[in-house]
């Protein structure tokens, strides 16, 4: 476990922002993480825990310690007639894990194919796509309390999962480091094909008659590849903003003024509005300010075409927020963690 000074984070964040950490450490096993927390060597310093770096936008150098979580692997922890329980370590790549579960014949995570990042971050922001959220397959997680050094277990209820949210983003923010997550997958497939784009893609693929877990995963991969830029090629962190949830009365007014508006009913009579639709409607798709841009195929995704600084991406995001506020009266909230 070696502390490195003045370390470049460019390859550790999918936006590809060239920020530097004053101090940097990589923790490669559970033991490393536990020892590090117990030693409390950096108490009093600002710290930032980095997993896959797929949801972080650096706007300046980090004047403290960046802790990269790198404990890899997954293992079977239990099974019964209908389910298998797999424990995945926080530092394992999410999509590699998802594809392995599919190859091994388990279903549940196929709609969450191709989401960039590592497993430890999946419960923190309750990742979701195409009608499924990780909470639907979640069983429990293990995390170390940074204050006491004790490893604790959290069940589903205690994680307080919500739309792109959990207790680790709210009241317990920065208080724990997640070591591993347990998922309960199905031995007999349960398909989620309610999301329109999946049905359409399955038809295109000729798989609509014989749906399988593998076909759904492939459909999701096709849809994502056609819309979302590959962070290996163009820096981005997926959706930059959350889809806002608004009251029915406000939605009815908007629907009246903008009959094409894209929205989905939510619990409690509320509506979730597609932020991408609003941004697209205002003509932002493909807009560019230097190397900071709005993706040309998905307006909710902001991109770094090469050498954009984090504050330039934030400036573009602010322009978009102001324009959405002016036309729709809605404040867009970033989904990405701005540091």
Least distance to ligand EPU from the beta carbon of 131, Å?
7
Query: Has 335 been annotated as catalytic?
Result: yes
Contact between 135 and ligand EPU (CB under 6 A)? no
Work out which of 239, 293, 302, 324 binds ligand EPU, going by CB under 6 A.
239
Which residues are CB-neighbours of 110 under 8 A, at least 6 positions away? 98, 102, 213, 214, 216, 217, 220
Q: Under a CB-based contact definition with an 8 Å cutoff, are residues 178 and 123 in contact?
A: yes
Question: Closest distance between ligand EPU and the C-beta of residue 52, in Å?
Answer: 12
Residue (of 59, 86, 42) closest to 174 by Cα position = 42
Query: Please, which residues bridge with residue 271 across strands?
Result: 246, 265
In the β-sheet with 263-265, what is the strand arrangement from edge to edge? 245-246, 271-273, 263-265
Q: If you ran DSSP here, which 8-state letter would residue 20 be given?
A: E
**Residue whose CB is less far from ligand EPU, 133 or 142:** 133
Site string (243-272) toward ligand EPU, x via CB under 6 A = x------------------x----------
Residues 276-295 that bind ligand EPU (CB under 6 A): 276-277, 280, 285
Active site residue 164: yes
Q: Which is nearer to ligand EPU, 151 or 282 (CB)?
A: 282
Q: How far apart are CA 317 and CA 15, in angstroms?
A: 14
End-to-end CA distance of the chain: 25
Annotation marks residue 239 as catalytic: yes
Find the binder of ligand EPU among 118, 231, 242, 246 (CB under 6 A).
Answer: 242
Judged by CB under 6 A, does residue 129 bind ligand EPU?
Answer: yes
Residue 184 CA to residue 189 CA, distance in Å, equals 12
Q: Does 97 bind ligand EPU (CB under 6 A)?
A: no
Find out whether 310 and 13 touch, Cβ atoms under 8 Å. no
Residue indicated by tokens 């322009």: 319
Catalytic residues: 164, 239, 335
Residues near ligand EPU, by CB under 6 A:
129-130, 197, 238-239, 242-243, 262, 274, 276-277, 280, 285, 298-300, 335
């Amino acid at each position: 476990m070696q502390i490195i000074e003045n370390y470049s984070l460019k390859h550790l964040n999918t936006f590809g922002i060239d920020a530097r950490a004053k101090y940097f450490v990589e923790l490669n096993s559970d033991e490393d993480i536990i020892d590090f927390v117990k030693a409390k060597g950096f108490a009093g310093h600002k710290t930032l825990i980095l997993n896959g770096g797929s949801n972080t936008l650096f706007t300046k150098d980090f004047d403290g310690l960046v802790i990269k979580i790198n404990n890899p692997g997954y293992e079977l922890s239990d099974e019964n007639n209908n389910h298998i329980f797999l424990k995945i370590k926080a530092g394992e790549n999410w999509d590699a894990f998802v594809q392995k579960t599919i190859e091994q014949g388990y279903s549940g995570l196929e709609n969450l194919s191709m989401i960039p990042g590592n497993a430890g971050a999946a419960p923190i922001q309750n990742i979701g796509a195409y009608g499924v959220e990780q909470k639907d397959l979640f069983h429990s997680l293990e995390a170390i309390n940074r204050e006491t050094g004790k490893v604790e277990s959290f069940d589903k209820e205690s994680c307080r999962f919500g739309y792109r949210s959990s207790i680790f983003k709210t009241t317990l923010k920065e208080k724990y480091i997640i070591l591993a997550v347990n998922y309960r997958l199905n031995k007999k497939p349960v398909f989620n094909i309610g999301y329109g784009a999946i049905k359409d893609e399955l038809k295109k693929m000729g798989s609509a008659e014989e749906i399988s877990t593998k076909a759904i995963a492939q459909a999701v991969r096709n849809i994502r590849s056609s819309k979302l830029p590959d962070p290996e090629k163009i820096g981005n962190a997926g959706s930059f903003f959350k889809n806002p949830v608004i009251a029915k009365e406000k939605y009815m007014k908007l629907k009246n003024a903008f009959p094409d508006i894209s929205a989905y009913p939510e619990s409690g009579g509320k509506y979730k509005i597609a932020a991408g639709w609003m941004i697209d409607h205002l003509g932002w798709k493909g807009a560019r300010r230097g190397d900071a841009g709005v993706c040309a195929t998905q307006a909710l995704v902001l991109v770094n075409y090469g050498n954009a600084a984090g504050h330039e991406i934030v400036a573009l995001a602010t322009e978009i927020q102001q324009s959405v506020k002016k036309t729709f009266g809605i404040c867009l909230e970033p989904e990405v963690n701005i540091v």
